[in-house]
Amino acid sequence: MYPLLDMLIDDNSVPRNVRTKMADAKARLQSSDDFSTKISAAVYALDEVSNDVNLPMHARTLVWNLLSELEALKNRA
């Protein structure tokens, strides 16, 4: 999950404001908060990113994949 986020954060075709929000989502995942809390916070941040009109389609697809993985983790907890 982190390598995919890192790839998107380092992708120069993704707007800077979107990369910043993705870095925030990664930081939330790495925080010491409760598992479900940090997953929910990351989902919220990435959902906001996925609705950005400036997000390139290839990146949007990867964000949707990340959201699916996070939702699956959240449902297992």
CATH number at residue 40: 1.20.1440.50
Report the domain count for the chain.
1
Find all residues with CB under 8 Å of 77, minimum gap 6, and list them.
35, 36, 39
pLDDT of amino acid 76: 85
Residues in the chain with pLDDT values less than 50: none
pLDDT of amino acid 20: 94
Structural domain for 59, as ranges: 2-76
